[in-house]
C-alpha cells in the first residue's frame, strides 16, 4: 500500500468522514490499490449491526430509513447508510444523490449517507457494497443500513450482506403478497407494513401472518428469514452447541422449535414516525437471537466463504479475458466455431490449459 493510501486509512480510522467518502469511492471505482485498503479494514470490523431494507417500489423505504436513522441518533448511536440507486446509462454513477430523501438528518455528521449505483457487473455491485460496509464498520458506525432500489435479484444479493433483513410491504391486494412470495419474501427476518394508515393495511398484515404461519410449518427458509436454512443446517451439524442450548427462543405459540426465528410483522407510518421504535425493537431482538443462537458467527463464515469465491471468480475471469485477447479475441474464435474449424469446448480447454499449468507449478513448487 502506498503512502497516500496509508494516510487515507489512518484518517478513516481516526473518524474523518472525508476519508471514509474517499475510501468508498476507491472501492466503487475499483481504483488501483483498493484491495490493499480493504484488506487492512478487516482487522477493524465486526462491531456494527448491518441492516438490509428492501421491498417493492413505492413501499416507502427511503422515508423509513430516514426515520430509522433519526431514532438511532436520538439513542446516541451513529449511522451509516448505503442507498443503492439506479445508475446513469452514461456515466454509471448513482443518479438520485445522497440526501434527496434523508431530510431528517441533514447536517448531522454522525449520519453518513452514500449512494452507490446499481450497475450490473460480474459480482461487482454486491462485492462493492460489502466492501463499503466494511469501510463504515471500520470507521466506527454503530448501525449500517443498506437500502435497495427495488426487489430484483440484484437487491436480494445485496441484502445478503446484512445481518438482519427487513422487507417492506405496502398495503395492497393479495396479488401483491403472492408476487413478493416468489422473490424477496423468503429472505425477510422482519416484515414491515409501511403506510399502515392506508386502506388495505389490515388485510396485508393478516395475509402476511397467514403466510408466515404456513411457511413456519412447510418451509425452513420462511421460518428462519434469510438465514433460516443455513441456521437449521448448522443446528443439524452441531446439535449439542452450548449457544443453541442456552437460547430459550422466547415465547412461541406456533409450535416451532425454540431455535427457529419467526419473522415478526411491524406496522409503521414512517412519515409520522409511528411504529419506528417498535421496528427498532424487533431489529434488536433479531440481533440478540443471532448472537445467542450462534447463527451470526455461522452467517459470517458463509459470507466470507462467498466473498472468497467471488474474488476468485473475478480474478479468474480477468485472466481468461486476457487469454482470449492473446488467442485473437472472442469474435475471431466465435467465427472459427461458426465455420466448423473448432468448437466451444475445445477453445475453453485450450484457454484453461495455461492457467491449470500455472496452478500445477505452484502446487509442485517447480
* pLDDT tens digit sequence for 213-242: 876 655 444 445 665 544 334 333 433 333
Residues 268 and 323 both lie in one domain: no
229's grid cell: 436454512
Residues 74 and 16 both lie in one domain: no
Residues 167 and 18 both lie in one domain: no
Residues 150 and 27 both lie in one domain: no
CA–CA separation, 113 and 134 (whole Å): 15
pLDDT of residue 227: 55
Q: What is the pLDDT of residues 322-356, one digit of tens each?
A: 888 888 899 999 999 999 999 999 999 988 888 78
> What is the pTM assigned to this prediction?
0.80
Count how many residues are written for the chain.
366
Range with the lowest mean pLDDT among 20-24, 91-95, 258-262, 280-284? 91-95
Q: For the chain, what is the domain count? A: 3
- Cβ neighbours, 10 Å, residue 92: 13
The answer to whether 266 touches 278, Cβ cutoff 8 Å, is yes
Which contiguous run of DSSP H or E holds residue 11?
helix 3-13
In the chain the first and final C-alpha atoms are separated, in Å, by: 29
With bands split at pLDDT 50, 70 and 90, how would you rate the model's confidence at 292? very high
Asked whether residue 233 is assigned to any structural domain, the reply reads: no
pLDDT of residue 245: 33
With bands split at pLDDT 50, 70 and 90, how would you rate the model's confidence at 310? confident
Asked whether residue 195 is assigned to any structural domain, the reply reads: yes
Say yes or no to pLDDT of 15 above 80.
yes
Query: What average pLDDT does the chain have?
Result: 80
Which domain range does residue 115 map to? 45-218+261-292
260's grid cell: 427457529
pLDDT of residue 366: 55
Residues 40 and 95 both lie in one domain: no
Residue closest to 278 by CA, chosen among 196, 187, 176: 196
- Phi, psi at residue 149, to the nearest 5°? -85, -25
Say yes or no to pLDDT of 179 above 70.
no
- Phi, psi at residue 238, to the nearest 5°? -130, 65
Asked whether residue 228 is assigned to any structural domain, the reply reads: no
pLDDT of residue 176: 61
Q: How many Å is the Cα radius of gyration of the chain?
A: 23
Asked whether residue 166 is assigned to any structural domain, the reply reads: yes
Residues 5 and 38 both lie in one domain: yes
Residues 275 and 136 both lie in one domain: yes
Residues 334 and 202 both lie in one domain: no
CA–CA separation, 109 and 73 (whole Å): 11
Residues 82 and 31 both lie in one domain: no
Q: What is the pLDDT of residues 182-214, one digit of tens each?
A: 556 678 899 999 999 998 899 889 888 888 887
Residues 212 and 95 both lie in one domain: yes
Asked whether residue 307 is assigned to any structural domain, the reply reads: no
Residue closest to 186 by CA, chosen among 229, 150, 146, 144: 229
pLDDT of residue 101: 54
Asked whether residue 109 is assigned to any structural domain, the reply reads: yes
The answer to whether 190 touches 263, Cβ cutoff 8 Å, is yes
CA–CA separation, 110 and 70 (whole Å): 10
Asked whether residue 191 is assigned to any structural domain, the reply reads: yes
CA–CA separation, 336 and 343 (whole Å): 8
Distances (CA, A) of 363 to 176, 311, 317, 319: 54, 20, 21, 19
274: helix, strand or coil? strand
Mean pLDDT along residues 234-255: 38
User: 3 versus 153: which is more confidently predicted?
Assistant: 3
What CATH number has the domain bearing residue 67?
3.40.50.300
Mean pLDDT along residues 43-70: 91
**What percentage of the chain exceeds 70 in pLDDT?**
73
Geometric angle at alpha carbon 259, from 42 and 246, rounded to 5°: 80
The answer to whether 145 touches 79, Cβ cutoff 8 Å, is yes
Say yes or no to pLDDT of 284 above 60.
yes
With bands split at pLDDT 50, 70 and 90, how would you rate the model's confidence at 280? very high
CA–CA separation, 202 and 85 (whole Å): 31
Residues 136 and 274 both lie in one domain: yes
Asked whether residue 18 is assigned to any structural domain, the reply reads: yes
- β partners of residue 85: 117
Say yes or no to pLDDT of 279 above 50.
yes
Residues 97 and 111 both lie in one domain: yes
Amino acid at each position: 500500500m502506498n503512502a497516500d493510501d496509508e494516510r487515507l486509512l489512518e484518517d478513516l480510522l481516526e473518524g474523518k468522514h472525508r476519508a471514509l467518502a474517499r475510501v468508498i469511492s476507491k472501492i466503487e471505482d475499483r481504483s488501483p490499490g483498493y484491495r490493499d485498503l480493504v484488506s487492512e479494514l478487516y482487522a477493524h470490523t465486526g462491531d456494527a449491526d448491518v441492516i438490509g431494507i428492501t421491498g417493492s417500489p413505492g413501499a416507502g423505504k427511503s422515508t423509513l430509513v430516514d426515520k430509522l436513522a433519526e431514532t438511532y441518533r436520538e439513542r446516541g448511536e451513529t449511522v451509516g447508510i448505503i442507498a443503492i440507486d439506479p445508475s446513469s446509462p452514461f456515466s454509471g454513477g448513482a443518479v438520485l444523490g445522497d440526501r434527496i430523501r434523508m431530510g431528517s438528518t441533514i447536517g448531522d455528521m454522525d449520519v453518513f449517507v452514500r449512494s452507490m449505483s446499481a450497475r450490473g457487473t460480474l459480482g461487482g455491485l454486491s462485492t462493492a457494497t460489502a466492501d463499503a460496509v466494511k469501510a463504515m464498520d471500520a470507521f466506527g458506525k454503530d448501525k449500517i443500513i443498506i437500502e435497495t432500489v427495488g426487489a430484483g435479484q440484484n437487491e436480494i444479493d445485496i441484502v445478503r450482506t446484512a445481518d438482519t433483513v427487513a422487507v417492506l410491504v405496502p398495503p395492497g391486494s393479495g396479488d401483491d403478497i403472492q408476487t413478493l412470495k416468489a422473490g424477496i419474501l423468503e429472505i425477510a427476518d422482519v416484515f414491515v407494513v409501511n403506510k399502515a394508515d392506508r386502506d388495505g393495511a389490515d388485510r396485508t398484515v393478516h395475509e402476511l401472518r397467514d403466510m408466515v404461519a404456513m411457511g413456519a410449518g412447510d418451509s425452513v427458509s420462511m421460518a428462519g428469514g434469510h438465514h433460516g436454512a443455513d441456521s437449521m443446517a448448522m443446528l443439524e451439524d452441531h446439535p449439542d452447541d452450548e449457544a443453541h442450548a442456552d437460547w430459550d427462543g422466547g415465547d412461541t405459540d406456533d409450535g416451532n422449535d425454540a431455535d427457529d426465528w419467526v419473522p415478526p410483522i411491524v406496522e409503521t407510518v414512517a412519515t409520522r414516525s409511528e411504529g419506528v421504535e417498535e421496528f427498532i425493537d424487533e431489529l434488536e431482538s433479531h440481533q440478540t437471537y443471532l448472537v445467542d443462537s450462534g447463527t451470526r458467527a455461522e452467517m459470517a463464515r458463509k459470507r466470507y466463504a462467498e466473498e472468497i469465491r467471488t474474488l476468485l471468480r473475478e480474478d479468474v475471469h480477468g485472466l481468461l479475458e486476457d487469454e482470449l485477447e492473446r488467442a485473437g479475441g472472442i469474435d475471431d474464435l466465435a467465427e472459427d466455431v461458426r465455420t466448423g474449424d473448432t468448437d466451444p469446448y475445445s477453445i475453453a480447454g485450450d484457454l484453461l490449459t495455461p492457467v491449470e499449468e500455472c496452478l500445477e507449478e505452484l502446487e509442485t513448487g517447480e
